[in-house]
Amino acid sequence: MDFCTNSCDYREDRSCDDGGPESDYQGCPLGTDCSDCGPRKIDLDQEKPKFHTFSGSDGLYKLQQKYGGSVAAMLRWNGLWDVASINVGQKLAVNAAAGKVVQEDRVPAAEKARRQRVKIASRVLSERSLFGKRYEAYLDILLNEKKTPVNKPPCVMPSHAELIRDPLPHMEDPLPTLEELQARFQPTEANGWWSPSDCEAMDTVAIVIPFRNRDYYLRGFLAHMHKLLRKQKLRYQIFVVDQVDEKKFNRAKLLNVGTVEATKVVPLDKAVAPGYRFCFIMHDVDMISLSDALPYNCPKEDEGGPRHLSVYTVSHRNKCLYKELFGGVAALSYQHMVATNGYSNLYYGWGGEDDDMSARVRMGAGLKIMRPRLCSGPCRVHGDCMRGMGKIPGYEETQDENFGVWYMLGGRPEDVRDKQMDPKNLKYLGYAEDRYPAEGLNTLEYKLQASTLARGGLYTHLEVKL
């Protein structure tokens, strides 16, 4: 199994220090200098549990150097929320095998059975929350396998070579006005949806944008995305979810709102009927793919899990910061939203909500995060996180250097290292995979102030208070 963390003190010094094959030094445990050595093969299933009795001179950073597990992983293995909750004399699990022992001891069999029942009930409630008043109509189509009669051939996603043949230009000033965009891009179906006229779109895609005071970026986004989505022959609509209250920005809750509101107007007979796919692409408004071939269609049922599309960005200096990353742009089928209970509603302010969803996907629902290009960064928490990762099928041999690379409108690099996560968000993140069945879509509350087809259907503008 691949193991990859950066918990080594000598990481990123251009010499391999984990004592493994072809290493330069033996200063850290195997697999903990991922940036310099790459992932290592470690048989974690054969690993023996390791415990450490915490003393007054200890610190989790010191234990990280000794045993190789990250501080975040050790907190999770021991069911702790922060370093201050550790007591002198406490017996700590310091590797994954010991963490499993602690979990077995901490959670009795009856409690495990109860949690499993809660997960099953959660899926039903999440499904009801997503489809709302249309739940019975959704079940009727799904359970009776009602097929939609069509008189056009099914659309086929253009090949990678076809999509990059005439690349769309980068968005630069002066950006088109909303009036100019309105004249060029109008919906062709009811309720604001667009689809090709020469074939039947099998993928229905709701682009969901969490939004507040980003009008300049929205113009650039609309100018680029309408052309790209039509180029890929998709049925689509763009939903701008605008937080209009005075609370701190809550990106994840806005994404939940967008999925629920989009599902209210999706043509169910062309979304959940046999042969069709319906999904949501959660999209920051200032992000644009450098490659027109990046797939905006829906993840297939047998693909493995949701897609994280924005792997490498200019704002992160063309680095994939860590493997569990799930922010920026992500594609989830409606089934994925049900399985994960959507996003958490708790994260006000910057940071944590995308890592929470990553944990829901991998450790809660047992799905994989699929990417157009694999992330070169380390595992941030659990060193074996790559077991929950994969590459989108059909793109394994792609040689396009822009594939999976993104730029930000405005061209200003962002140093995320200077941003501080709210301490409350950090605490929520510590038990995301345990909390998800009881908090998310099935607890979503908001006030919809207005829902309008803006500019004749250029996008749907949802004004909400959280």
Helix, strand, coil content of the chain in percent (nearest 5): 35, 15, 45
User: What does DSSP say about strands 91-93 and 369-371: parallel, antiparallel, or unpaired?
Assistant: unpaired
Per-residue model confidence as pLDDT tens digits over 218-267? 999 999 999 999 999 999 999 999 999 999 999 999 999 999 999 999 99
> Which of the residue ranges 64-78, 291-305, 313-327, 398-412 has the most confident prediction, judged by mean pLDDT?
291-305
pLDDT in the model for residue 44: 66
CA separation for the pair 193, 181 (Å, rounded)? 16
Cα-based distances in Å from 334 to 153, 195, 205, 316, 396: 24, 19, 10, 30, 25
CA separation for the pair 12, 448 (Å, rounded)? 48
Identify the CATH number of the domain defined by range 2-106: 3.10.350.10
Of 71 and 281, the structure prediction assigns the larger pLDDT to 281
Per-residue pLDDT averaged across 160-184, rounded?
90
Residue 294 in tokens: 């990046």
pLDDT in the model for residue 414: 52
pLDDT in the model for residue 85: 79
User: In the predicted model, is pLDDT for residue 1 greater than 90?
Assistant: no
Per-residue pLDDT averaged across 399-412, rounded?
80
- Please provide the DSSP assignment of 125-153 as one string: HHHHHHHGGGHHHHHHHHHTTPPPP-SSP
Is the CB of residue 437 less than 8 Å from the CB of residue 341?
yes
Cα-based distances in Å from 229 to 158, 226, 237, 238: 11, 5, 9, 10
331: β partners: 281, 307
Nearest CA to 73 out of 348, 315, 378, 303 is that of: 378
- Please provide the DSSP assignment of 277-299 as one string: EEEEEEE-TTEEES-TTS--SPP
pLDDT in the model for residue 413: 53
Of the pLDDT bands very low, low, confident and very high (cuts 50, 70, 90), residue 429 is: confident
pLDDT in the model for residue 31: 81
pLDDT in the model for residue 419: 65
Counting residues of the chain whose pLDDT is more than 90, the rounded percentage is: 55
CA separation for the pair 191, 393 (Å, rounded)? 33
Q: Position of tokens 């939203």? A: 337
Domain ranges in the chain are: 2-106, 120-465
Is the CB of residue 457 less than 8 Å from the CB of residue 236?
no
Per-residue pLDDT averaged across 308-323, rounded?
83
Tell me what the pLDDT averaged over the chain comes to: 89
Of the pLDDT bands very low, low, confident and very high (cuts 50, 70, 90), residue 115 is: confident
- Backbone dihedral region of 275: left (phi > 0), alpha (psi from -120 to 50 degrees) or beta? left
> Which of the residue ranges 112-126, 169-183, 395-409 has the most confident prediction, judged by mean pLDDT?
169-183
CB neighbour list of residue 322: distance below 8 Å, 6 or more residues apart: 375, 377, 378, 379, 380
- Using N-to-C axis directions, what is the helix angle for 109-131 and 251-265, rounded to 10°? 50
Per-residue model confidence as pLDDT tens digits over 188-228? 999 999 999 999 999 999 999 999 999 999 999 999 999 99
Counting residues of the chain whose pLDDT is more than 70, the rounded percentage is: 96
User: In the predicted model, is pLDDT for residue 105 greater than 60?
Assistant: yes
Per-residue model confidence as pLDDT tens digits over 325-381? 999 999 999 999 999 999 999 999 988 999 999 999 999 999 999 999 888 888 888
- 120-465 carries CATH number 3.90.550.10: yes
pLDDT in the model for residue 162: 92
* Phi, psi for residue 360 in degrees, rounded to 5: -60, -45
Q: Taking the complete model, does pTM exceed 0.85, yes or no? A: yes
287: β partners: 408
- Are both 2-106 and 120-465 of the same fold? no
- Please provide the DSSP assignment of 320-375 as one string: ---TT---SEEEEEHHHHHHHTSS-S---SSSSHHHHHHHIIIIIS---EEESS--
User: In the predicted model, is pLDDT for residue 430 greater than 90?
Assistant: no
Is the CB of residue 81 less than 8 Å from the CB of residue 124?
no
pLDDT in the model for residue 235: 98
Residues composing the chain: 466
Per-residue model confidence as pLDDT tens digits over 434-465? 889 999 999 999 999 999 999 999 999 999 99
Of 78 and 191, the structure prediction assigns the larger pLDDT to 191
Of the pLDDT bands very low, low, confident and very high (cuts 50, 70, 90), residue 415 is: very low
CA separation for the pair 434, 436 (Å, rounded)? 6
Residue 404 in tokens: 């999976």
